[in-house]
Amino acid sequence: MSGARDQILANIRRSLGAAENNKVRQQAVDARITAAKPGIEPARGQGSLEQRVAVFVEQAQAVSATIARVENISDTPAEIARYLRDHNLPPSLRIGADSRLGKLQWQGAGLEIARGPSTGTDLNALSYAVGGAAETGTLALVSGPDNPTTLNFLPDNHIVIVDAAAIAATYEGVLARLKDRFGKGNMPRAVNLVTGPSRSADIEQKLLLGAHGPRRLHIVIVNAADGTHAQ
């Protein structure tokens, strides 16, 4: 495949009369990319941090997600225990290797923790989002051992923590934060954008939650970040 692609590109270069290592053309392309103006972004979600969070909450609730706000990351175990209890769910969670989750007092909140990717047998899972987009109430979750992608899709109930300060106004803002955090060559293999619980209306146009993934999505917004969220 690589050989065929190289041949096609070589043919294009020949037709344009361009050398393979033309530094002048490369510099022109780099300058054009650097000087490119950003595209138009929607007004919804723009504003102060609190305005962004308010729009995020409104949009997330509109697609059947539930929301809780806590002041500090240390308050999340108690909030998650409350959520599970109120929904008559077992006090158990599967989490990844995220150090922010690893240092929390789960046992003190009466929660049993399993670690690592899900095999599809877990009822509840917890992830830490890298950010969120206020315009649609969307969470951005990156792949890797800290927050395995399987936790986003296999368990019935997905709980996600997101720092308030990591909520951007738009998708473009979220992508900019990802680039700033990881940098070129270090981007995660996958970025999952999650908006509400899984749903489908394919059958008789009747909305069904949990069709292809979690039937519940509970978002815990942490007001005071611990400094490890995406800038």
- Which domain CATH number covers 94? 3.40.50.10420
Exposed (0-12), middle (13-18) or buried (19+): which is 31, by Cβ within 10 Å? exposed
- Same domain? For 74 and 9 the reply is no
Predicted pLDDT at 170: 95
pLDDT per residue rounded down to tens, the chain (231 residues): 567 888 888 888 788 777 667 777 778 888 888 777 777 777 788 889 999 999 999 999 999 999 999 999 999 999 999 999 999 999 999 999 999 999 999 999 999 999 999 999 999 999 999 999 999 999 999 999 999 999 999 999 999 999 999 999 999 999 999 988 888 788 888 999 999 986 555 555 554 544 566 889 999 999 986 544 433
Tokens for 20, please give them. Answer: 């393979």
Pair 31, 53 in one domain: no
Assess if residue 43 is contained within a domain.
no
How far is 160 from 19, CA to CA, in rounded Å?
50
User: Quick one: pLDDT at residue 144?
Assistant: 94
Q: In this structure, is residue 44 part of a structural domain?
A: no
If you search the block for the tokens 């962004």, which residue do you land on? Answer: 52
Does residue 31 sit in the same domain as residue 60? Answer: no
Q: Record the tokens describing residue 151, joined without a space.
A: 């936790």
Number of domains in the chain: 2
Other beta carbons less than 10 A from residue 5's beta carbon: 9
The pLDDT tens digits for 151-175 are 999 999 999 999 999 999 999 999 9
One-letter amino acid at 3 equals G
Domain interval for residue 14: 2-35
Q: How far apart are CA 183 and CA 120, in angstroms?
A: 32
